[in-house]
Structure 1
Amino acid sequence: MTDLLPGETDVIAVDVARLGARGDGIVETKRGPLYVAYALPGERVRVALCDGDRARLVAVETPSPDRIAPFCPYFGTCGGCLTQHLARAPARAWKREIVVDALAAAGVEAGEIAPTVDAHGAGRRRLTFHARYPDGKARVGFMAARSHDLVAIDACPVAEPGLAGAPRAAHALAHLMRGKAKPLDIQVTLTEGGLDVDLRGHGPVDEGLRAKLVGAAGLLDLARLSLHGEILVERRAPRVRMGEAMVAIPPGGFLQATAAGEAALAELVRSAVGKAKRVLDLFAGAGPFALRLAARAQVHAVESEGAALMALDRASRATPGLRHVTTEVRDLFRRPLLSTELAKIDAVVLDPPRAGAQAQAERLAETTVATIAYVSCDPATFARDAAILVGAGYALERVTPVDQFAHAPHVELVGVFRGPRARR
């Protein structure tokens, strides 16, 4: 029998009923659900029990036909991927069910919930490394699943090939910043100009260390190196393509996880908006939707981050064939647009963070905007906000899940709402 780890009480055989929203296999017991990481529905597995509602997978006695061999040597220790053992087609079906369950829990009916769009593409275009200094030496990698433990890595196979040099860059920069031994986050983004790196957690640096960091940026051939959003050196413009526009993204600014994911979400938004002439883009970021929609519509972009809007503005002015996108810096959580400000708008696009857009949804519920395209990275908060809009008379016409986080539980979606005047 496998040795028990501290806190474990027994090893038993159980049957896995379904897959939970966080990627765990769920076993139904008299005491309630038991969660087993890396187990799949339909499997009979041996697990080590502990006092809580989680159990450790010891062995798979009867494997699921959907089980495949993980391709990453760090799988099972690194917390970045939790479902590499699940084949892609059933993984997409599972992510659709996450969306279905979230809407059902909120009492929201959708006209259609489409199949999940596979948007992994060439892989992740941004990685965030963590650096720790347990013995005065830099240890760099990703966090373990449900833990603050660091898993040192040398390569990430779910990233775009252009990020192959990212681990080396992260190690080199972490080594230079070992003096204070403070936990460090190193965000590396793949751009047209090369690797764009933003360092966070260290605090201000003296001139000596600044010079060393600038020198390292040259040796590592980085496009740009920033510290807490402050540019230390920009050797090449870190531009990212958004439709026909090239956007010089701000340091550490938000970007969809994959280029294919951004393109898929944008196409769903473009299709929903259709021929609308006056479009409002809320939580606009640096313009992944606004810059595409501006090819045929007047777009007003609202975002709390001024640097992102400046990047959007420059890109719209520099791109032939686009209408100029007007911008507004505004905290939509504290100051959502009011119904009077929405009165002459044909379509609204929302792409809020994980917390959703409840305050703005409540104001939209007071309007008769013909179309609302809601992009979400959290099905639960989307369902909450959808209930507000549906309760006010909007119809949730279609929801499309989008999977740009292959091998992880995260799922994006685009929900299309039609107002009463659009359904006449």
Structure 2
Amino acid sequence: MRHEGKIEGMSNDGLGVLRGGDGEVYVPFTYPGDRVKVKRTKRRFGRKIALDFELLGESPLRQGARCPYFGTCGGCLWQGLKYKEQLRLKRGLFERATGISAEIKGSPKVWGFRNVSNFIVTTSGIGLKKYGAPLEVENLEECPVFSKHTPGYLRALRDFLRETGLRPWDLRRRTGEVHYLQVREGKFTGDVMVNIIAHVEPQEEVLEAFKDYFSFADSLYWSVKRDERDDPRGDAQLVAGEPYIRERAEDVTYLIHPKGFFQTNSYALPLLLKAVEDFTEGEKVLDLYAGVGTFGVYLSKRGFEVEGVEVNPFAVEMAKKNTELNGVNAEFHVGRAEETLIGEYDTVIVDPPRKGLKEAAELLIKSGVENVVYVSCNPRAFRLDYENHLKKAYRVEEAVLVDMFPHTPHVEAVIKLVRR
């Protein structure tokens, strides 16, 4: 059945909502005010998603997309939306999900801002997956949200594969040798790290070719992937160059390694760090999901007494290296957040995984800590944590949103909670 009409709203995951007599249809790459004719749909997770549609009339909120793959590539749902409208809609979606009205700070750069990209290497193309098609890949030549150097990275990979004869991954058969090309850039240092994720141990002649084709990189890794899961993870082995690249945020330098998580938008990161600093009270701070010390090292540099807890031993090792590199006195320990004994701290910072705090929320309630700074990229997880747990002891005093992810519906929230 065909559906025709005006897009009247946005779903929480950034799809245009078309309402009709027989229910709602969710249309990707559309925005409020667009007029569309939907020709084909599929049902997914209880919703009708448009697979094929025609744009009959453009919303005044639209802008021309810079990327030639916009509309099929799954990376940027909102690239056709004016940036000020992206920010306005993000504020609205966050408030709808949490009930909190918050200021939003835009990214200082909206092109070339990503410091990492994972290009999937498949028999049907090298690039990013098409929207809504997990077995189809957009064969890219460029990516303007990642780097102006993307064409060179992808050209080097294709030449490398051609010379070595290594087989790209077959998504349907789950066979092949090279699965991902991961590239990281230090936007403020110029450092480049290239990591090939493959299902084979490299032969010596393969490694020599790898070093030749990617000679521009400061750090070269080969990661052996020992499972068939479709993700850019493997046992990282240094092939050439430095074991880390560096990135700067204000006066702090961070080391980056293939196994460590680092915020993807280097230009907006200082805004995020400043928001956390502004909400931090007192002197003694517990960084409860410390990661590689992104917040803890920054706060320590500003005179706070910081202790960090992180479940991943490698991340703790990186946090300690970042502490030493920046000449600060923060302490980081391996531990599970939900098992941490929370002592006499003035502020606890939590940046939990997408699933939220869950059991750790009850620890905060029992701790007696006056101030909690909750950092989240998942407003629904925050709402569950707050409504089911934190609300018993804390109230929301203030919140700020930082757009770490231009051209997508995602946003990073920093929320200040104070004890009732």
Work out whether the TM-score is over 0.5. yes
Deviation track 1:300-320 (CA, whole Å, cap 9, x = no partner) reads: 111222222222212222324
**Residue 327 of structure 1 aligns with which residue?**
332
1:115 aligns with 2:103: yes
**Residue 37 of structure 1 aligns with which residue?**
28
Paired with 1:103 and 1:115, the residues of 2 have a C-alpha distance of 14
Would you say the 8 A contact 2:40–2:53 is kept in 1? Answer: no
**Residue 58 of structure 2 aligns with which residue?**
63
Deviation track 1:364-383 (CA, whole Å, cap 9, x = no partner) reads: 12222111111111111111
Identity rate of aligned residues, in percent?
25
Deviation track 1:62-100 (CA, whole Å, cap 9, x = no partner) reads: 321101111110111211011111111111111112211
**Residue 300 of structure 1 aligns with which residue?**
307
Alignment of 1:26-175 (within 5 A): 26-50=17-41, 52=43, 53-56=48-51, 58-104=53-99, 110=100, 113-119=101-107, 121=109, 122-133=112-123, 139-147=125-133, 148-161=135-148, 165-172=152-159, 174-175=161-162
When the two structures are superposed, what TM-score results if normalisation uses the length of structure 1?
A: 0.85
Q: From the superposition, tell whether residues 237 and 391 of structure 1 become closer, same or farther in structure 2 (CA, over 3 Å).
A: closer
The 3-state SS of whatever aligns with 1:292 is: helix
Code of the residue aligned with 1:355 in structure 2: it is: K
Alignment of 1:118-267 (within 5 A): 118-119=106-107, 121=109, 122-133=112-123, 139-147=125-133, 148-161=135-148, 165-172=152-159, 174-175=161-162, 176=164, 178-179=166-167, 181-182=176-177, 184-191=179-186, 192=189, 194-218=191-215, 220-227=216-223, 228=234, 229-235=236-242, 237-267=244-274
**Residue 367 of structure 2 aligns with which residue?**
367
Paired with 1:221 and 1:55, the residues of 2 have a C-alpha distance of 41
The 3-state SS of whatever aligns with 2:267 is: helix
Q: From the superposition, tell whether residues 221 and 241 of structure 1 become closer, same or farther in structure 2 (CA, over 3 Å).
A: same
Q: CA deviation at 1:193?
A: 5.6
Paired with 2:153 and 2:34, the residues of 1 have a C-alpha distance of 38
Q: From the superposition, tell whether residues 386 and 243 of structure 1 become closer, same or farther in structure 2 (CA, over 3 Å).
A: farther
Q: CA deviation at 1:208?
A: 4.1
Deviation track 1:218-241 (CA, whole Å, cap 9, x = no partner) reads: 3x4343324232222224741122
Structure 1 residue ranges without an equivalent (≥5):
1-9, 105-109
Deviation track 1:151-196 (CA, whole Å, cap 9, x = no partner) reads: 1111111124465643334434555472472351222110236211
**Residue 4 of structure 1 aligns with which residue?**
none
Structure 2 residue ranges without an equivalent (≥5):
168-174, 224-233
Q: CA deviation at 1:198?
A: 2.4
Q: From the superposition, tell whether residues 74 and 120 of structure 1 become closer, same or farther in structure 2 (CA, over 3 Å).
A: farther
Number of aligned positions between the proteins: 391
Comparing 152-161 and 373-382, the one that deviates more? 152-161
Q: CA deviation at 1:131?
A: 0.2
Code of the residue aligned with 2:5 in structure 1: it is: V
Paired with 1:210 and 1:246, the residues of 2 have a C-alpha distance of 30
Paired with 2:359 and 2:28, the residues of 1 have a C-alpha distance of 36
Q: From the superposition, tell whether residues 236 and 371 of structure 1 become closer, same or farther in structure 2 (CA, over 3 Å).
A: same
Q: From the superposition, tell whether residues 221 and 80 of structure 1 become closer, same or farther in structure 2 (CA, over 3 Å).
A: same
When the two structures are superposed, what TM-score results if normalisation uses the length of structure 2?
A: 0.85
Q: From the superposition, tell whether residues 32 and 301 of structure 1 become closer, same or farther in structure 2 (CA, over 3 Å).
A: same
**Residue 226 of structure 2 aligns with which residue?**
none
The 3-state SS of whatever aligns with 2:13 is: coil
Q: From the superposition, tell whether residues 245 and 15 of structure 1 become closer, same or farther in structure 2 (CA, over 3 Å).
A: closer
Would you say the 8 A contact 1:141–1:150 is kept in 2? Answer: yes
The 3-state SS of whatever aligns with 1:279 is: strand
Q: From the superposition, tell whether residues 290 and 76 of structure 1 become closer, same or farther in structure 2 (CA, over 3 Å).
A: same
The 3-state SS of whatever aligns with 2:61 is: coil
Would you say the 8 A contact 1:278–1:298 is kept in 2? Answer: yes
Would you say the 8 A contact 1:366–1:392 is kept in 2? Answer: no
Q: CA deviation at 1:29?
A: 2.5
Q: From the superposition, tell whether residues 114 and 308 of structure 1 become closer, same or farther in structure 2 (CA, over 3 Å).
A: same
Q: From the superposition, tell whether residues 202 and 51 of structure 1 become closer, same or farther in structure 2 (CA, over 3 Å).
A: closer
Paired with 1:299 and 1:365, the residues of 2 have a C-alpha distance of 20
Code of the residue aligned with 2:140 in structure 1: it is: I
